[in-house]
Amino acid sequence: MAVDIRPIRVPERVEADDAGELLALAELSRRLDAEALGTSDLSRRPRELLRDLQQTEYTARTAIGAFDGDALVGVAEVQWELDADAGTAYVTTVGVDPARRRRGIGSRLLTAAEEAARRAGRATTVIWADQLIDERDVPGPRLHAPQGDASISADGPIPQFARTHGYELGQLYRISALDVLGRGDEFAFQLDAALDAASDGYRLVTWRNRAPDALVDSLARAHERMSVDPPSGAISFELEPWTAARVREAEGRAVDAGRVNLSVAAVGADGEVAGFTELSLLPESPAVEQWDTIVLGPHRGHRLGLRMKLANLVALAREDPSRDRVCTWNADENAHMLAINVALGFRPFALESAWERPSTGESSAAAGSAGIGATTGS
């Protein structure tokens, strides 16, 4: 039977009669994550996938499936900002069931994702891929990102796939994990020491799921800087416009997806957010994801990043002491943030590579259209 490439049907509810394709996507994603990361603890559950694939006013996301009859054997996901000035789409997933590889399915999925980007008016595409770190001396040529020290084998399946389709390696991220089980008192002791050593007038504010109203506007400005301030290698990251309304939408979306988000902000004497960090507790998982951490330019040099992260680790131990690890993603060239994470005890276990294909200058539709798949959201 021929493999059919088409949008994945998105139901209104996970419990709906037509939720079969969404459930199949969750299962395939779980298996692909286990292969790429050595664990499925970070995989999105059906509820979160459903929320991701529903339309929002800020971003669009489309999931495209490869179907052999009723069986889902491959998937591609592509997302983009709905801001009229945006020109890049991000292919966050291209994955094929191991038993069905080397039959051109991945190439067809990528082509469909690129077509979705073109229809949305996004002429530049970036693809992301994860792989475990191989500690062995792998013979053959290595690929280095434009910045940083990490490298990957040029002969691996990910580089071969990306380069065959005209993509160039733009950045490598370390994916690291920190063991946190039973360490709440240890983190509290470290936080007390860091606070005792500080005399710069910043205070730490913590919250669960919803930011205080007094901080939401300056928090939005910090989120906006987060989209462009971190090292970007050779990848075309674009400014994401953030407002208080977008912060509230993101908070609600996380709760709807079944997550608990813990945040800490460093607040200056003027009452404005000088930096923030986020932990996201996945449902039905022992793992926690470290989301954004940023200290705004005028406030750097005070070790605020370390203080905020320690405070959030203390909050995590109080919120759910059964969680066993926190996973984080850092650009390999981001020496300052990596130094903080190494000091905390994070250990790398995988790499995420980002590949960009230069703009063709073509645009086949107005920015913001749904593109192929008709199911959007992030």
pLDDT band at 371 (very low <50, low <70, confident <90, very high): very low
Over range 4-31, report the average pLDDT: 97
pLDDT band at 136 (very low <50, low <70, confident <90, very high): low
Q: Closest Cα partner for 82 from 45, 56, 49, 50?
A: 56
Of the ranges 131-140, 337-346, 349-358, 364-373, which one carries the lowest mean pLDDT score?
A: 364-373
Tell me the per-residue pLDDT of 293-314, one tens digit each, with 9 for 90 and over: 999 999 999 999 999 999 999 9
Which pLDDT score is estimated for 92?
A: 96
Rg, Å, the chain Cα set: 21
Q: What is the mean pLDDT of the chain?
A: 92
pLDDT band at 363 (very low <50, low <70, confident <90, very high): very low
Over range 209-226, report the average pLDDT: 98
The span from the CA of 75 to the CA of 276, in Å, is 34
Is a pLDDT exceeding 90 seen at residue 46? yes
Q: Closest Cα partner for 227 from 46, 86, 354, 116?
A: 86
Over range 142-167, report the average pLDDT: 95
Contact 160, 308 (CB under 8 A): no
pLDDT band at 138 (very low <50, low <70, confident <90, very high): confident
Cβ-Cβ contacts under 8 Å for 113 (sequence gap 6 or more): 62, 64, 76, 77, 78, 89, 91, 94, 125
Tell me the per-residue pLDDT of 273-291, one tens digit each, with 9 for 90 and over: 999 999 999 999 999 999 9
Which pLDDT score is estimated for 362?
A: 44
Over range 239-254, report the average pLDDT: 97
Show the domains of the chain with their CATH numbers. Answer: 4-177 (3.40.630.30), 179-346 (3.40.630.30)
The span from the CA of 124 to the CA of 167, in Å, is 11
Tell me the per-residue pLDDT of 84-121, one tens digit each, with 9 for 90 and over: 999 999 999 999 999 999 999 999 999 999 999 999 99
Contact 76, 89 (CB under 8 A): no
Which pLDDT score is estimated for 360?
A: 54
Of the ranges 42-51, 66-75, 365-374, which one carries the lowest mean pLDDT score?
A: 365-374
Is a pLDDT exceeding 60 seen at residue 11? yes
Which pLDDT score is estimated for 135?
A: 67
Q: Which amino acid, residue 204?
A: L
Is a pLDDT exceeding 50 seen at residue 163? yes
DSSP bridge pairs for 125: 89, 357
Question: How many angstroms separate the Cα of 306 from the Cα of each of 112, 219, 258, 290, 349?
Answer: 42, 18, 28, 13, 22
- Please give the residue that has the higher pLDDT: either 170 or 236: 170
pLDDT band at 139 (very low <50, low <70, confident <90, very high): confident
Q: What is the pTM of this model?
A: 0.91
